[in-house]
Amino acid sequence: MPQKTDAPIEVTAFSWVPPFARGHVRDLRVRWALEEAGLDYRTRLISAIDRPADYYREQPFGQVPHYREGDVALFESGAIVLHIAEKDERLMPRDPVGRARAITWAVAALNSIEPGIMHLADIDLFCAGQEWARLRRPDAVRQVEGRLDRLAAALGDKPWLEERFTVGDLLMVEALRNLSPDRLAIPDVLTAYVARGEARPAFKAAMAAQMADFISDDAVQSEGVSA
């Protein structure tokens, strides 16, 4: 849905991040859920370098996204996405069994899959060359690849984790998008699974909206802020 300045839902996001992080900041998954549910929203953009002091009263860790809808205020992308999913059967099945499975996969994405992927990303992107990272990396790779193999086995030849796309798939695809095929072995079925998620019109709309909100590197530098 196009963003509307008078929309009742407000999503707080960063106005700028380095190019390598664009398309991976976690307000993307919130935008994607809103697009899947057909809900209008507006964005409040804050600096990733110099966060407003009062923002920590809304988000204790200073991260994005933050979500506000009337009196409802949420932080943590997983909690926000689950809140949005409850609004629409397209994301959260209404039958008890389907709902339980969707929630289970959503939590699995956040607890069993994403932490290992992000740990490996930290090693490769931010700690490369450090001795502890060199020693830790083989075990980190084995752990992630083991989880990916088990996930691939659970997915099998299905297009989605259950009978249809749910919030569980949204969060799982988002977690898997942080994988780098040049740094570890990714099962082909998971590569195809991520591609199906990224091909959804709602994902494309969310990605375009996030990219449109970022100001340029030149604009950041012209303000005298070092990236």
CATH code for the domain of 13: 3.40.30.10
Number of domains in the chain: 2
Q: Global pTM?
A: 0.93
DSSP 138-150: HHHHHHHHHHHHH
Across 1-15, 55-69, 93-107, least confident range: 1-15
Does residue 224 fall inside a structural domain? no
pLDDT confidence of 2, banded at 50, 70, 90? low
Residue 1 is predicted with a pLDDT of: 54
Is pLDDT at 210 greater than 50 in this prediction? yes
Residues 165 and 113 in one domain: yes
Residues 59 and 106 in one domain: no
Whole-number Å distance between alpha carbons of 182 and 189: 17
- Summarize pLDDT for 126-153 with one digit per residue, the tens: 898 899 999 999 999 999 999 999 999 9
Across 28-32, 80-84, 126-130, least confident range: 126-130
SS3 state at 44 = strand
Whole-number Å distance between alpha carbons of 72 and 38: 19
Residues 14 and 40 in one domain: yes
Give the domain range for residue 26: 9-89+204-217
Residues 33 and 50 in one domain: yes
Residues 196 and 109 in one domain: yes
Does residue 63 fall inside a structural domain? yes
